[in-house]
Amino acid sequence: MLSNFRAITLSYKSAPIHIREAVALSELHIRSLLLKIRDIIDVSEVLILSTCNRTEVYYSSNIDYSSQIISLICIEKGILEVETYSPYFEIIHDHEGSVTHLYEVSLGLQSQVVGDLQIINQVKHAYQWSADANLAGPFLHRLLHTIFFTNKKVVHETTFRDGAASVSYATVELVETLTSEIPQPKVLIMGLGEIGADVCRNFSGSRIKDIYVSNRTPKRSESIAEECGFAIVPFEQVWEAIDDADVIISAIVRDQAFFTKEKVAQLQLLKHKFFIDLSVPRSVAADVEDLPGALVYNIDNIKSKANEALEKRILAIPQVREIMRESLEEFNDWSKEMVVSPTIQKLKNALEQIRLDELARFAKQMDESEAHKIDMITKNIMQKIIKLPVLQLKAACKRGEAETLIDVLNDLFNLDQQAEVKTN
């Protein structure tokens, strides 16, 4: 019998950022947690997904292990107060509900920025780590490959993934456009609050690799630099880095502009220097752009572009949901059929054993040619006999009546006892 697919999820919908940060799992954490779950809990298939907006564990089991898995997440992160974090996790016990949730997450329907461009790659990484730990079985393999195929249909047939629909992603897209003719552009990100950190994370798949971060709080710089693989510039030395950078992204929170015309005028503006101001109030003074070589983009420019893309994506949601519905219907039919696969195999084995036993009884009375013909005839008979019960079983699956038919077949052919004999 197929195990029930379950989900444990904590996301931006249920938890504030300080909770999400505390339980967020790096690749090393996920690989370690997969091994802990495999060794401690009796589950065959597990997928762990962790992003800046969600931490989720999917697993196949007829037993609810949610409290144990939440405890293991806390142990992995060195959290002692499990009871403080447990209420933020939502538990989905329903098989089809968990499958649907993973679909929606993977396609970007559950993302904070609808149609998130990164989430499908994050799911692919999670799947690879499960496979590496031998925790991706037939069900998870089929589910993930179906989701990846569905995602391709969404990309090719809708506008759901068009454009940069978040400020942080639009910022990265803008930087890539501005620096397209610079061989090795240097980017400095200043201010690592929520938006600055999001910009850093969105650079993870960019062609731009020479990225520096700076923050008034050194610990914050260290944390983001380690997570994203960037270099750190101490805040006291930031003007030297500004002088050297091609692009400065400022997400500094302060009442007065940090980049004044007077300060920027002291820089060696021998080539274009791009200032992208994500701060409110603005951290780059408006008159900085009066300086030759200084080009300023503020958050309103970027938000306008992001909002356009977001409107397109929202309009595409009904089309995405229809593609998802068709895919889910096919997958759930396959999933239900998996329930009867063992019974079908047992029935085939039972009938084949009867056939072989009868052939053995008369083997001495036939020559080789006769034996071959009888073998072919009886095989064809058996295939025709098995065809109707198999079709009835699959139809019963769709009606939700498979268990009754399984019991009838088990009683008629004594399938359980035959399986035990074969095992022994």
> Which residues are annotated as catalytic?
52
Beta strand pairing call for 90-92 and 5-11:
antiparallel
Phi, psi torsion values for 291, nearest 5 degrees: -75, 135
Q: Which two tokens stand for residue 118?
A: 């990164």
> Could you tell me the CA-to-CA distances from 414 to 64, 93, 421 in Å, in that order?
32, 33, 11
Q: Point out which residues pair with 46 in neighbouring strands.
A: 59
The span from the CA of 235 to the CA of 214, in Å, is 6
Q: For Cα atoms 242, 275, 271, give the angle at the middle one, nearest 5 degrees.
A: 70
The span from the CA of 164 to the CA of 310, in Å, is 8
Q: Do 291 and 264 contact (CB within 8 A), yes or no?
A: yes
Q: Do 250 and 275 contact (CB within 8 A), yes or no?
A: yes
Instruction: Give the end-to-end CA distance of the chain in Å, rounded to a whole number.
Output: 21
> Could you tell me the CA-to-CA distances from 321 to 56, 90, 249, 315, 331 in Å, in that order?
22, 23, 36, 11, 15
Residue position matching structure tokens 């063992």:
342
The span from the CA of 54 to the CA of 157, in Å, is 27
Q: Which two tokens stand for residue 394?
A: 């699959």
Q: Which two tokens stand for residue 416?
A: 């359980």
* Calculated CA dihedral for residues 163, 167, 171, 172, nearest 10 degrees: -60
> Could you tell me the CA-to-CA distances from 107 to 7, 138, 146, 310 in Å, in that order?
17, 21, 12, 15
Q: Which two tokens stand for residue 224?
A: 């983001």
The span from the CA of 146 to the CA of 377, in Å, is 39
Q: Do 105 and 47 contact (CB within 8 A), yes or no?
A: no
Q: Could you give the residue ranges of the DSSP H alpha helices within 41-137?
A: 66-76, 82-85, 95-107, 119-132
